[in-house]
């Protein structure tokens, strides 16, 4: 049968779906990576999920693990192309090194295997993420003109690298036993819901779930759908809208906008990045829960924090706890005196900033947060503030605006842009009429920003009430709401689905 005849046959059966479109479903397009907020993912998951449920009925876990691993590799291929082979190679190496480490009794050899694994993981991460940054800075310092080919950053490499490192470190610390076979390990390291943007899953929390029988309750399904719908709304209706219609424009040319617009763009990015990243985390946790796996909460309304210390207990929790347990404690934590504790805190946040990207602006972002953590810890022993609602409110306001200030460096494309935004905000004057005119011009954007902030600051009781109301709806209504959410995303998108911000990390 000729290709033209085959295309006519597909068109007659499936309507306007062409052979070319079907090919695009299964091939990597760097301009259109697979995202949770796309009809393609919804369609693929609707095919994947019934078969997944069938695999869980088999007595052993091998068929299920093989099926999920294969789908996860396909998902990663659709996200990063040929780099899915890097995930496989890294996983095979770490599995075997961890096995050797576990079976070894001599401490020197155990430490040797651990060091080899850490070096291997950091080498992969360093090459793909930091090689261009290192070469550029070397050229700047030495006056050289050394050039390397452009290195593309595999999506999610920072996440699955840390995840794999937690596995072998926990085995070294004798807090975890290795998986029973390499398939189980690859299932863990490639689990697609959180593969490309977290949460960073701890081996000690996830691997025991691999060997438990699927027990998906009605409450689990309700919670999963509630999280997925909420995550889609956060990402598409709030984050993407604010970004495309306001924040990106101001940060692209801050001097072309007023001081008030620069300020509002900073507030806008603050809620944008929260809705974008927490939206992804909600969807990842919800999809995993539909599959019977429980992932840790990654965000707990971080802008309600009354200190930077509290902020890092609420923001990107899987990263902050990973840095605490595997970096801060490894550096000595607070076991070697106060001065060393301050140094360890600062270094942890500095490296945490560098983890976010190969740029000095991320280092400065980490330095600012590290400095704030050190100052808070220092004054904690000497300054006792009264515990009342007024003190709490002032603390929340101050903490929030410090975080907003730091986000400027995080969002700006370079230091010049960041300082332009800060300088423009510094020239802000109180002109109510001018502000009202600007607010009228961006009324839809500011309304969406307001909705985002109101959602974030809603009391937990209100969220609980909404959750209970959703739970009481029939499953058909819940499925309809989910389908309607996807349809609205597709129907209202003006520039196509937008990648998640943390894909670049």
Hey, which residues are catalytic here? Answer: 356
Query: Residue 375, Cα to own-chain centre: how many angstroms?
Result: 28
Contact 370, 350 (CB under 8 A): yes
Query: Residue 111, Cα to own-chain centre: how many angstroms?
Result: 31
CA dist 208 and 204 (Å) reads 7
Residue with tokens 């001097």: 255
Q: Is the dihedral of CA 251, 256, 257, 263 positive or negative?
A: positive
Length of the chain: 505
Residue with tokens 């507030």: 267
**Contacts with 136 (C-beta within 8 Å, 6 or more apart), sequence order:** none
Contact 492, 238 (CB under 8 A): no
Contact 196, 77 (CB under 8 A): no
**Contacts with 377 (C-beta within 8 Å, 6 or more apart), sequence order:** 309, 341, 342, 345
Identify the CA nearest to 124 among candidates 150, 97, 171, 160. Answer: 160
Cis peptide leading into residue 199 (ω within 30°): yes
């Amino acid at each position: 049968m000729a290709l033209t005849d085959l295309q006519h046959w597909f068109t007659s059966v499936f309507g306007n779906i062409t052979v070319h479109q079907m090919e695009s479903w299964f091939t990597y397009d760097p301009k259109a990576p697979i995202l949770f907020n796309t009809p393609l993912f919804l369609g693929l998951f609707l095919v994947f999920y019934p078969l997944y449920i069938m695999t869980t009925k088999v007595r052993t876990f091998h068929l299920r693990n093989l099926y999920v691993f294969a789908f996860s590799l396909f998902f990663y291929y659709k996200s990063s192309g040929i780099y899915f082979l890097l995930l496989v190679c890294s996983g095979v190496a770490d599995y075997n090194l961890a096995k050797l480490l576990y079976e070894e009794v001599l401490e020197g050899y155990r430490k040797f295997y651990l060091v080899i694994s850490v070096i291997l993981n950091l080498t992969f991460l360093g090459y793909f993420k930091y090689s261009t940054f290192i070469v550029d800075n070397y050229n700047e310092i030495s006056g050289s003109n050394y050039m390397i080919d452009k290195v593309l950053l595999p999506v999610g490499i920072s996440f699955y690298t840390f995840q794999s490192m937690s596995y072998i470190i926990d085995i070294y610390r004798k807090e975890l036993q290795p998986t029973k076979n390499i398939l189980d390990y690859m299932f863990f390291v490639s689990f697609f819901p959180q593969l490309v943007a977290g949460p960073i899953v701890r081996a000690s929390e996830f691997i025991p779930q691999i060997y438990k029988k699927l027990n998906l309750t009605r409450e689990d399904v309700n919670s999963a759908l509630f999280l997925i719908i909420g995550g889609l709304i956060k990402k598409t209706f709030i984050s993407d809208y604010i970004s495309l219609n306001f924040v990106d424009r101001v940060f692209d040319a801050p001097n072309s906008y007023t001081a008030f617009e620069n300020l509002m763009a900073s507030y806008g990015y603050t809620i944008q990045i929260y809705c974008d990243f927490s939206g992804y985390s909600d969807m990842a946790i919800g999809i995993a829960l539909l599959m019977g796996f429980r992932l840790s909460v990654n965000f707990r309304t971080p802008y309600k924090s009354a200190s930077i210390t509290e902020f890092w207990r609420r923001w990107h929790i899987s990263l902050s706890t990973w840095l605490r347990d595997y970096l801060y404690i490894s550096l000595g934590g607070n076991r070697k005196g106060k001065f060393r504790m301050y140094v360890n805190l600062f270094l942890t946040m500095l490296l945490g900033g560098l983890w976010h990207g190969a740029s000095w602006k991320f280092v400065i972002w980490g330095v600012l947060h590290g400095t704030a953590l050190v100052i808070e810890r220092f004054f904690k022993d000497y300054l006792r503030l009264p515990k009342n609602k007024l003190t709490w409110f002032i603390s929340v306001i101050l903490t929030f605006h410090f975080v907003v200030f730091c986000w400027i460096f995080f969002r700006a494309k370079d230091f010049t842009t960041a300082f332009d935004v800060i300088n423009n905000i510094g020239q802000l004057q109180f002109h109510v009429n001018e502000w009202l005119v600007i607010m009228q011009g961006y009324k839809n954007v500011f309304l969406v920003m307001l909705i985002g902030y109101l959602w974030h600051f809603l009391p937990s009781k209100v969220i609980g009430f909404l959750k209970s109301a959703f739970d009481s709806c029939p499953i058909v209504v819940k499925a309809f709401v989910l389908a309607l959410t996807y349809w609205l995303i597709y129907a209202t998108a003006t520039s196509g689905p937008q990648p998640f911000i943390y894909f670049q990390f």
